[in-house]
């Protein structure tokens, strides 16, 4: 871990590290600690005075029916996006891994949605599935499906899942492909010689060897659905209709902006931080196991 050879003196290294430290302290530690501190305070309506109220904000958060609703929405949303984006990416990756002519071209054609902003992805899908003018949304209604993501919560959720999955498949595809290429071909050939067919080889040899990658991608995808899909939700549904697509992160934003109750919003942020830290910790345990120093 440590380098034997190094430079001596300590003023220069301190100077080198100062810019990063300053930015980290000002824009990370200060606001993060403020969020925690605020979660224990209650401010009056004008924000002039505040008193320490202990865990009252937290109990208030957990008493809100809307909070549980947002929690359920978040769980449904992340489960669906995680399942579809992992499954589709794995399918494409296994096909692209076969030594095909033009394999590299397919890779390029499949990865570029990574570069599209989540909000733009949402807008594209909104346009395609617009109930009255969308190329796919209008036929749905003509066929009598009564499709309208602006009024129907279920339709809105379907639209969000589709656009969030579309945007994230490319990412999972890249990692699955890298994972597949790291599996020694001799292992798979040995399976073939033993008479295992392609499906059997996939489920008994390839898939178990890919499980670390799958697990890593599962965690990353959940974090993606939590945070990066904010742009999709805000641009496409704004948390509606009637709060049906309000996730935990969207609620922190909406409560802080409209309600002006910073204590409540801060308490929600802290709960989220705990969830994310737990997810990150899991991810690091995995990295520790995988990387051999």
**Interface with another protein in residues 95-154 (CB under 8 A):** 95-96, 98, 100, 106-121, 123-128, 130, 132-135, 138, 150
Residue 41 sits in the site that holds another protein (CB under 8 A): no
Residue appearing with tokens 């190329």: 135
Shortest approach of another protein to residue 203 CB, angstroms? 16
Which residues have C-beta within 8 Å of that of residue 202, sequence separation ≥ 6?
Answer: 94
Q: What is the DSSP letter of 52?
A: E
Q: What is the Cβ-side half-sphere exposure of residue 281, based on CA atoms within 13 angstroms?
A: 6
3-class secondary structure, 43: strand
Site for another protein in 226-265 (CB under 8 A): 226-227, 230-231, 234-236, 249, 252-253, 256, 262, 265
Is-contact 36 270, C-beta < 8 A?
Answer: yes
Q: CA nearest 95: which of 103, 87, 83, 86?
A: 103
Shortest approach of another protein to residue 76 CB, angstroms? 20
Site for another protein in 50-69 (CB under 8 A): none
- Based on CB atoms, which residue is closest to another protein, 71 or 128? 128
Residue 38 sits in the site that holds another protein (CB under 8 A): yes
**Radius of gyration of the chain measured on its C-alpha atoms:** 24
Q: Which of 59, 181, 211, 280 binds another protein (CB under 8 A)?
A: 280
Is-contact 153 242, C-beta < 8 A?
Answer: yes
Shortest approach of another protein to residue 54 CB, angstroms? 20
Is-contact 247 256, C-beta < 8 A?
Answer: no
Per-residue binder mask for another protein (CB under 8 A), 149-188, x = binder: -x---------------x--xxx--xx--x---------x
Residue 269 sits in the site that holds another protein (CB under 8 A): yes
Shortest approach of another protein to residue 206 CB, angstroms? 13
Is-contact 113 173, C-beta < 8 A?
Answer: no
Cβ-based neighbour number of residue 219 at 10 Å: 16
| Segment interacting with another protein (CB under 8 A) among 23-31, 50-58, 60-68, 76-84 | 23-31
| Segment interacting with another protein (CB under 8 A) among 32-40, 65-73, 76-84, 202-210 | 32-40
Is-contact 255 268, C-beta < 8 A?
Answer: yes
Shortest approach of another protein to residue 215 CB, angstroms? 12
Residue 215 sits in the site that holds another protein (CB under 8 A): no
3-class secondary structure, 53: coil
Shortest approach of another protein to residue 276 CB, angstroms? 6
């Amino acid at each position: 871990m440590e380098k034997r050879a190094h430079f001596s003196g300590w003023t220069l290294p301190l100077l080198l590290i100062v810019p990063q430290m300053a930015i980290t302290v000002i824009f990370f530690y200060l606001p993060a600690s403020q969020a925690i501190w605020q979660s224990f305070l209650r401010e009056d309506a004008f924000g002039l005075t505040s008193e320490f109220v202990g865990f009252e904000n937290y109990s208030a958060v957990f008493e809100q029916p809307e909070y549980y609703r947002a929690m359920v929405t978040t769980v449904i949303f992340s489960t669906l996006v995680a399942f579809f984006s992992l499954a589709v990416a794995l399918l494409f990756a296994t096909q692209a891994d076969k030594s095909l002519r033009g394999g590299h071209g397919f890779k390029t054609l499949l990865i570029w949605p990574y570069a599209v902003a989540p909000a733009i992805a949402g807008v594209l899908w909104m346009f395609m599935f617009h109930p009255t003018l969308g190329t796919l949304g209008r036929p749905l209604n003509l066929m009598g499906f009564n499709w309208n993501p602006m009024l129907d919560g279920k339709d809105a959720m379907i639209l969000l899942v589709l656009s969030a999955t579309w945007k994230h498949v490319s990412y999972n595809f890249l990692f699955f492909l890298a994972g597949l290429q790291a599996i020694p071909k001799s292992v798979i050939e040995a399976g073939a010689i033993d008479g295992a067919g392609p499906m059997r080889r996939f489920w008994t040899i390839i898939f178990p060897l890919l499980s670390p990658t799958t697990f890593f991608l599962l965690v990353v995808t959940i974090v993606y659905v939590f945070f990066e899909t904010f742009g999709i939700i805000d641009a496409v549904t704004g948390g509606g209709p009637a709060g049906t697509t309000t996730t935990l992160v969207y609620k922190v934003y909406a409560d802080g902006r409209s309600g002006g109750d910073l204590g409540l919003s801060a308490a929600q942020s802290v709960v989220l931080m705990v969830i994310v830290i737990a997810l990150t910790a899991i991810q690091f345990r995995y990295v520790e196991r995988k990387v051999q120093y």
